[in-house]
Homo-oligomer: A and B are copies of this chain.
Amino acid sequence: VIRIALDAMGGDNAPRVPPTFRIQLVGRTADVEAALQAHGNVDRKRLDIVEAPEVVGMGEKPLAAIKSKPRSSIAVGLGLQKQGQSDAFISAGNTGAVMAAATLLLRVHEGVARAAIGTAFPTAGQPVLVIDGGANVDCDARELVGFAHLGSVYARDVMGRPSPGVGLLNVGEEDEKGNAVVKEAHQLLKQTPGIRYVGNGGEIDVVVCDGFVGNAILKFYESAGRMFAGMLQQALPDVLGRPEVKQLFKFLDYSEYGGAPLLGVKGVAIICHGASLARAIMHAVRVAAQMVESHLDQDIGAEFAEGGTVR
């Protein structure tokens, strides 16, 4: 049985999001119980409630919050995994606090310089993984190479791409373009064993960039999707009930995409959008289960333990 700890206090809609999987709900027991009661027919056999009396607010400074609140839902939920009592942790709470706590409590695999957020982006074909989606705003070239390793393992294990192509987000196609860090990363990636670097040409499964750029694209996609959805609603009120149109709206709604894994830590941690609704959490639970079942954690450890890669 895969045990998934779910932060019941994080996110705009916590703790009312109903669990849809075998879940350890971590939070203030009274609040969680009240939310479960309010929801009605919940299958309690699939649920544990794990008491965590403290709550980290969305606006709190991550590191200070984690240090001053050792009994927060975030710290307790990740702590379960450290103690071998859980397999994964999901939170829609304070992103920085989840990253800080995961790095402090679970620690990163040996050889991993920085944990990074992987975010799946829709394309006309299969989704691509953009890494880093916002964990590290200033990155050097070797850290970007590390993200290429993390993203490649994730693409193989969870996205079903046996030989993932890696691209580097850049302003142009030629070798001499890009900023200083990207130029260096481009040269390093060309000679990194174990990474199928395809530059800007060829089928790409993993796009490597620093967290500043990745986050900018992510936010931009969210707002563009909302804007397009709004225009569609205005322009075509009579066809909104059609199943194809509902599908299109799902595609435009980033909250449908579930959570983003924090890759590189020893364990499984997924960060969800603060505005996540039940469906997004359900997707995150599904991804968490895939991460556990595919032994992603061990595979990342092995990827970085192997010699011959640029680190």
Contacts and interface: CB of A to CB of B under 8 A. Distances in A.
Interface residues of A, number: 47
A221 interface: yes
A230 interface: yes
Given A224-B224, A227-B124, A137 B171 contact: yes
A223 B236 CA distance: 23
A242 B238 CA distance: 12
Contact of A138 (B180, B228, B235): B180
Nearest to A247: B235
Contact of A230 (B124, B179, B209, B244): B124
Interface stretch (A23-31, A145-153, A210-218, A261-269): A210-218
Contacts of A137: 171, 177-179, 182
B252 A245 contact: no
A71 B251 CA distance: 49
A215 B171 contact: yes
Contacts of A169: 216
Interface string A229-259: 0111011100100101101100110000000
5 smallest beta-carbon distances between A and B, as pairs: A235-B244, A137-B179, A171-B215, A138-B179, A124-B227
Interface of A: 59, 61, 122-124, 134, 137-138, 169, 171, 174, 176-180, 182, 209-213, 215-217, 220-221, 223-228, 230-232, 234-236, 239, 242, 244-245, 247-248, 251-252
